[in-house]
Amino acid sequence: MTADVALKSTDRPALSHPFPDPPAPGATIEVAPGIHWLRMPLPFALDHINLWLVADGEGWSIVDTGFGRGDETRALWQRVLDATLGGKPVERVIVTHFHPDHIGLAGWLCERFGVELWISQAEFLTAQVVRGGLAAGDIEKRVEHYRRNGLAGEALEGFRSRSNYYRDTVSPLPARYRRIVPGEAIEIDGKPWRAILGEGHAPEHICLFGRDLGILISGDQVLPKITTNVSVWPDQPDADPLKLYLESLANFRPLPHDTLVLPSHGLPFYGLHARLDFLAAHHEERLDVALAACVTPKSAAEIIPVLFRRKLDQHQLGFAMGESLAHLHYLAGQGRVRRTLDADGIYRFQRV
């Protein structure tokens, strides 16, 4: 999800898309020697996720897995396995982060092929906790988080009635895993792929840079068209994820300018550094918009229509609240706004 704020001073960079058309359902496109692009459907406005098959010795490594609910994605996987793998085995399943469109079928694929799940520690442990669900008291704490930040009425009650959507969309995970450590080199098909840390969107998001191939598998950390969701969530109500996200963009600056970026949403692209510049400027402008609105005390709920100028459903509202809080917390961390808990028990932010 991204805001609807019109950028004032930043033009979107003219990225180059060497593959302008995505693969058909159940098919793949080879984007580099031994690297195949496949796309799986999602039941949202953002209606797809890109997944990657990487030739790996006598078999294949899978990077991200798709949604785990329903039979459609499993059926499409079966078509890909039959058509692309050529009878070669799956050697491992690599997951960039714990979100259900990335890890949803990891357990199913690992069990089917008897292989290890490769994932960072924070992402694996977060997935286990979230899939375990919330106790009744935890649900009330979640609702209280949104109430304290200005939501009320039906919008607030919508968060009380939400089921454990994560468990419904993520197949049971393996009991053990192979930890990916940020900065380490992972050998795939005899070539080193460096694990690059991305923060802010997820706790320990791993991107993979293959130097020999000039390719970055960027997950959700760097996307070509939409901006990565960076949110404050009820389990860390005082977090500053936008600071982490903006700082972690520096981890991608040393990569070559001719790097081919393989994102989880949208089309593969050239123009990594221009996109990094845009993302930094985009958030700076959103911060300016939020700061201007806080000339009088504002709750995060009151900032939502400032940043998101369209009607939001309950699912989108959670992301919008999270992003609004992320920008307000960043401003507070910089000393540009002050947060107060008012007499009505609602946090409000005012420009200093």
> Which stretches of the chain drop beneath a pLDDT of 70?
1-11, 134-137, 163
DSSP 3-state of 71: coil
> Tens of pLDDT along 56-115?
999 999 999 999 987 899 999 999 999 988 889 999 999 999 999 999 999 999 999 999
- What is the per-residue pLDDT for 271? 98
- What is the per-residue pLDDT for 137? 59
CA–CA gap between residue 165 and residue 117 (Å, rounded)? 22
User: Which tokens is 48 given?
Assistant: 């797809």
Domain boundaries, the chain: 29-351
Amino acid identity of residue 303, one-letter, is: I
> Tens of pLDDT along 273-282?
999 999 999 9
For 36-67, letters b (16+ CB in 10 Å) and e give bbbbbbbeeeeebbbbbbbbbeebbbbbbbbb
- What is the per-residue pLDDT for 8? 47
The widest CA-to-CA distance across the chain, in whole angstroms, is 66
- What is the per-residue pLDDT for 132? 84
3-state secondary structure 113-151: HCCEEEECHHHHHHHHHHHHCCCHHHHHHHHHHHHHCCC
Radius of gyration for the chain, computed over Cα atoms and rounded to the nearest angstrom: 21
Q: Is the pTM for the entire model greater than 0.85?
A: yes
Distance, C-alpha 161 to centroid of its chain: 24
The residue with tokens 């939501």 is 151
Question: Per DSSP, what are the bridge partners of residue 54?
Answer: 35, 61
First to last CA, the chain: 29
11, 192 Cβ separation under 8 angstroms: no
Cβ neighbours, 10 Å, residue 134: 18
Instruction: Indicate the helix (H) or strand (E) that contains 317.
Output: helix 314-333
CA–CA gap between residue 269 and residue 258 (Å, rounded)? 10
Which class in CATH covers the domain with range 29-351? Answer: alpha beta
Closest residue by Cα to residue 59 from 109, 121, 124, 123 = 109
Which runs of E-coded beta strand occur in 45-190? 48-56, 59-63, 90-94, 116-119, 178-179, 185-188
Cβ neighbours, 10 Å, residue 344: 10
